[in-house]
Amino acid sequence: MAGISAAQVKELRDKTGAGMMDCKSALNETNGDMEAAVDWLRTKGLAKAAKKAGRTAAQGLVAVAVEPSGNGSTGVLVEVNSETDFVARNEIFQDMVAKVAASAVGVGGDLEKLRGETFPGAGKTVDEHIAEMVGKIGENMALRRAEGITVGEGVVASYIHTPVTDGAGKIGVIVGLKSSGDKAKLADLGKKIAMHVAAARPLSATVAELDQSVVEREKEVLAEQARESGKPENIIDKMVEGRMRKFYEESVLLEQIFVIDGETKVGKVIENAAGDVGAPVEFAGFARLELGEGVEQSDDEE
C-alpha cells in the first residue's frame, strides 16, 4: 500500500524490535494499522508482545502520598504533566505536585473529585491553581491521572522508581495489604512488592481481573502462530492453553515470580508472610503510574 511513512516504520520497529523491512511489510499487509501490524509480526515470529513503552512527549512527575487512618491507611498516586523535563525539576512545580498528591488522599484518589478540591492555601480548586501556574511558569501543565487504595486494617506501601525529588519521580507504585499483624513488617513486605510491580509491569493482580480483550487478542495471536508452524487444528487449542499459562505468569501480579528472590510466586510470598507478620495477609490491590504512559508522540519528535 502507498502512504506508509518512515515514521510509522520507525514507530513499529521501536515497539517490536523487528527489522525495518519486516516492519514495512507488516504495515503494508495491515493497511497501516499499527496494532494489527504488531500482531502480524508476532504471528510470523518476528516480534515479542508489544509493551507500548516507547518514548512519549509527556514530561512532569508522578507523586505519591500515604496517610494513616485508624488501623489502616490510604495511599494515592497522581500524574501531573508538563511540556519539558526542565519544568519537572523546578522546585515550584515539585511543591505543587506534592500538594496535589496530598489533596488526593482526602478523595481516595478519585480524579474528578480531586480536580474540584481546594488547593492548599490557594483559595482555588486544584484545576484552577494548575491553570494559574501555567501563566507563572510559562509552560502548559495538566493533572492527567490519579489512583488510590484504602485499607481499613493493614498498610498501603509505596515506592518511587528513579525519584526526582522526595516522593515523586518517573514511576510510582502503591500496594495495599490487609492484615492485623505487625505493621512495620507488613510495610516492609508491601514496599518490596511495590518494587516488584515497578520492575515487572503486571497488567492485573489476578487472572480474573485481566482485560478480556487483552486475553482474547493474546489467544488469537498464539493460535495463528501455531497454524503458521503447521500444527494441526486438533492440537492448537491445547498449545494455546499451555502458552496462555505462560502469559499469565508473565502478566498477572500474583502469578509472577517475585523479583526479590527469583523463585517464589508473589501470591505465595504474601501467603507465607503470615508467619513473619503474625497474622494472615490479604492482597488488597495495587496501582502503578508511569510518566507519560499511553500518551501519543508526534511523528517528528526525536
User: What is the spatial distance between Cα 167 and Cα 161, in angstroms, rounded to a whole number?
Assistant: 10
Residues 6 or more apart whose Cβ sits within 8 Å of residue 231: 239
- Beta strand pairing status for 59-69 and 168-178? antiparallel
Q: What is the pLDDT of residue 302?
A: 39
Q: What is the pLDDT of residue 68?
A: 92
Cell representation of residue 21: 523491512
Q: What is the pLDDT of residue 54?
A: 36
Q: What is the pLDDT of residue 295?
A: 67
Predicted TM-score (pTM) of this structure: 0.77
In 114-185, beta strands by DSSP E: 141-151, 154-165, 168-178
157 pLDDT above the threshold of 70: yes
Residue 258 DSSP label: P
Relative orientation angle of helices 20-29 and 34-43, to the nearest 10 degrees: 120
For 234-257, write each residue's pLDDT tens digit. Answer: 788 788 787 888 889 999 999 999
Query: Mean per-residue pLDDT for 98-122?
Result: 95
User: What is the spatial distance between Cα 119 and Cα 111, in angstroms, rounded to a whole number?
Assistant: 14
Among candidates 230, 77, 250, which has minimal Cα distance to 168? 77
Burial class (CB in 10 A: 0-12, 13-18, 19+), 181: buried
The larger pLDDT score, comparing residue 226 to residue 276, is at: 276
User: What is the spatial distance between Cα 36 and Cα 26, in angstroms, rounded to a whole number?
Assistant: 8
Topology of 1-55 in CATH? Helicase, Ruva Protein; domain 3 (1.10.8)
51 pLDDT above the threshold of 70: no
User: What is the spatial distance between Cα 266 and Cα 187, in angstroms, rounded to a whole number?
Assistant: 16
Asked whether the beta carbons of 46 and 17 are under 8 A apart, the reply is no
Cell representation of residue 132: 494559574
| pLDDT band, very low/low/confident/very high, at 301 (cuts 50, 70, 90) | very low
53 pLDDT above the threshold of 70: no
Whether 59-204+260-290 and 1-55 are alike in CATH topology: the answer is no
Query: What do you get for the CA distance between the two ends of the chain, in Å?
Result: 26
For 80-92, write each residue's pLDDT tens digit. Answer: 999 888 989 999 9
| pLDDT band, very low/low/confident/very high, at 287 (cuts 50, 70, 90) | very high
Q: What are the φ/ψ torsions at residue 208 (nearest 5 degrees)?
A: -60, -25
The larger pLDDT score, comparing residue 177 to residue 240, is at: 177
Query: Mean per-residue pLDDT for 80-106?
Result: 94
Mean pLDDT taken over the chain: 88
Domain boundaries, the chain: 1-55, 59-204+260-290
User: What is the spatial distance between Cα 217 and Cα 43, in angstroms, rounded to a whole number?
Assistant: 12
Q: What is the pLDDT of residue 49?
A: 47
Beta bridge mates, 163: 169
Domain 59-204+260-290 has CATH 3.30.479.20: yes
179 pLDDT above the threshold of 50: yes
The helix (H) or strand (E) run that includes residue 239 is: helix 233-251
Residues 6 or more apart whose Cβ sits within 8 Å of residue 276: 182, 185, 189
Amino acid type, 227: R
